[in-house]
Structure 1
């Protein structure tokens, strides 16, 4: 038995926790460089703002409809997610954090009324950290995801589903006829695992609802589409085919890429940017206990802006697999120096770490227990500890520059709110 807990309009909800004046107003959180909408309040959706819609297309709503558009503050959202997930874990013994705002919980064998337990956890999250959420409960992960969708729409769109299913929907407590009625009211494209292309093909074949898909022969689904759709059909039929992933496998590649706030034409600011990306990628690498064997670096102009085009990349092999920021940054800077050519408006660059290996397995082979290796390892641990405690960038490689957010290539985040929960200098002050 699974429960899926999902924060409603998560990025917007995080912003509203610290700015109560935004409650009831249309709010949109924008992507990097304030480009497009990545989170919308229900009020913004009602105004017609679409997910991924460019900001310039709905900017007029700020004046005419009171819409508030904010820059993304991923530091805040990540910290609020950690708090929400720690409370969500109280629902059951096993947890899989599926995304920044979603968490699967294994509630198999949990005693008592699961629906009441879910409501209690939901109320606790709302009271303790201010994030509204919905919970779906079902025998399979696909059905739990569907139950969560029902719980959200029953609250947001009265009449789409029975009001009794709002906020918390427990399919396991319903009769077969009641479950079929809910599936019949759900578009096939709203089923987890059904993409747009396959959804169109299913509708052309007469499969228009989740109930139609549940009644599809699994062998037919596999033969005409894929084993993935066969698994989805079986899950809709109540057969659990997707286990809880308590510990996601280590990433096979780690990347840090950014679009620039302003075009970069010279090498020095490009070196600063690549150094920053390499340091962040190295930090992620150490967090999962891996070593990288190669560093891939790239830079290109914008495909949407007029002018000469530039797009180049280079892979630099490391002398030995490492997670040392200095070695990785040195390789990235070497790569960008080799591929750079003046006269272009560089709009984006990035660093990817390739050929990742388990650091604990390779440790003996690479003689990382030498005196130099131990000292470098201690240094990296100290850097990570201080940056975790005092904020990212407290200690950094010199080649990243010293101008902070004033660096030429830094992303546009003119509407970003403070890091209320992770920076002592930005903690909100309550006045009587």
Structure 2
């Protein structure tokens, strides 16, 4: 008899803040927040920061003085560090579980089907991640993904669980469903929760017991699936990996507004390089690109401008050089001198997997050795650090780069920023 499927959700606690603490022990037990691009707003908070009432998404300039009085430490977003630590966490999970599905940078589904002691394995995962990486996690286990997600929430909320909660037992499922607010159910947002409250649905248990037909008519099939999952019927399967993206975008706000074309060309080269890397990771080819430019549109009293141009490549490709050459031509078409531009973007569209399209006999032939060259470039950048090999026009420290005044070192991805110990 085939054993029932058992899902585990392993979720890192305050991931960005925990990454900062791993390499900076002095931050432990201190309130920490991480800021968005250009140090704009708060995108991550430690437990201590949450306890002080610091809101998610708060504009940093508005709360900066109060945070300093409260002793809160702010850090600029350090994405290379976070991505590397995430990869380390996922590798450990993959070694300890029969299969994993990476859900986000800080969480993954684990397959615990047939495991004799799921709780014990959950504690082993927590202990190893804490010992080898320094990352605290919560583990929720159940017979459906929605119940496992709810178990993970409870594992983090109540210390008595030890960070691991096995919710495969129907009696324990009912107990938690009666305690959990409906807003904590995976797939139920705050707006849906407010609408559900008008039907006297306040807890996860209320939702699980409500008439499915009425919910489907009011909220659609997604809510119906959620209810069935809460009742123990698995409707969301387990995948070894996410499906390929249908489009890939790379875009960031400039640290300083730009009025001249050369620095914007440099920024576009960086964004194209990053987008092309993502394209090759999922083994896709791009047929169409869209280049965008804009000023700060929220500023009503200054000159405003926004435009995009869509261009077709001669043939599907993942070669950074081919994509960049076309993107730069597109940029020249939409550039307007004198405007204080705050952002440019590249969107790769009409993606296809290698080998699934018949080559066009009349299309230009790809550059000799293109696929091998891109593979070598990616291998070097992965081994050394991102940008070790880059397009010649890109400077190591460009003037247009994001403003990150509180950036910590990239301790795990750059040799010149590794932690040093003096004798």
CA distance in 1 between counterparts of 2:292 and 2:68 reads 39
User: Which deviates more from structure 2 when the two are superposed, residues 242-251 or residues 224-233?
Assistant: 242-251
Runs of 4+ in 1 over 3 A off after TM superposition: 362-370
CA distance in 1 between counterparts of 2:119 and 2:187 reads 25
CA distance in 1 between counterparts of 2:412 and 2:399 reads 28
Structure 2 counterpart of 1:158: none
Structure 1 counterpart of 2:409: 418
Q: 2:168 is matched with which residue: 152, 157, 172?
A: 172
Matching of residues 384-395 of structure 1 within 5 Å: 384-395=378-389
Structure 2 counterpart of 1:44: 49
CA distance in 1 between counterparts of 2:388 and 2:237 reads 40
Structure 1 counterpart of 2:341: 346
Structure 1 residue 200: deviation in Å? 1.3
* Residue 312 (structure 1) aligned with residue 307 (structure 2): yes
Structure 2 counterpart of 1:121: 125
CA distance in 2 between counterparts of 1:222 and 1:366 reads 50
Q: 1:74 is matched with which residue: 63, 75, 79?
A: 79
Partner SS state of residue 158, structure 2 = helix
Structure 1 residue 218: deviation in Å? 2.0
Partner SS state of residue 177, structure 2 = helix
CA distance in 2 between counterparts of 1:151 and 1:21 reads 27
* Residue 89 (structure 1) aligned with residue 94 (structure 2): yes
Structure 1 residue 73: deviation in Å? 0.8
In structure 2, the CA distance between the partners of 1:363 and 1:130, relative to structure 1 (3 Å rule), is: farther
Kept after mapping to 2: 8 A contact 1:391/1:422 = yes
> What's the TM-score once normalised by structure 1's chain length?
0.93
CA distance in 2 between counterparts of 1:247 and 1:89 reads 12
Gaps of 5+ in 2: 1-5
In structure 2, the CA distance between the partners of 1:152 and 1:388, relative to structure 1 (3 Å rule), is: same
Structure 2 counterpart of 1:302: 296
Q: 1:200 is matched with which residue: 183, 194, 197?
A: 194
Structure 1 residue 75: deviation in Å? 0.7
Matching of residues 25-424 of structure 1 within 5 Å: 25-111=30-116, 113-155=117-159, 163=160, 165-173=161-169, 176=171, 178-305=172-299, 306-362=301-357, 373-400=367-394, 402=395, 404-405=396-397, 407-424=398-415
Gaps of 5+ in 1: 156-162
CA distance in 2 between counterparts of 1:291 and 1:68 reads 43
In structure 2, the CA distance between the partners of 1:136 and 1:366, relative to structure 1 (3 Å rule), is: farther
Structure 1 residue 323: deviation in Å? 0.9
Kept after mapping to 1: 8 A contact 2:178/2:205 = yes
User: Which deviates more from structure 2 when the two are superposed, residues 278-287 or residues 361-370?
Assistant: 361-370
CA distance in 2 between counterparts of 1:85 and 1:289 reads 21
Partner SS state of residue 343, structure 1 = coil
In structure 2, the CA distance between the partners of 1:263 and 1:219, relative to structure 1 (3 Å rule), is: same
CA distance in 2 between counterparts of 1:366 and 1:26 reads 61
CA distance in 2 between counterparts of 1:122 and 1:261 reads 39
Structure 1 residue 393: deviation in Å? 1.5
Kept after mapping to 2: 8 A contact 1:367/1:373 = no
Q: May I ask how many residue pairs the two structures share in their alignment?
A: 417
Q: 2:12 is matched with which residue: 7, 10, 15?
A: 7
Structure 1 residue 362: deviation in Å? 3.4
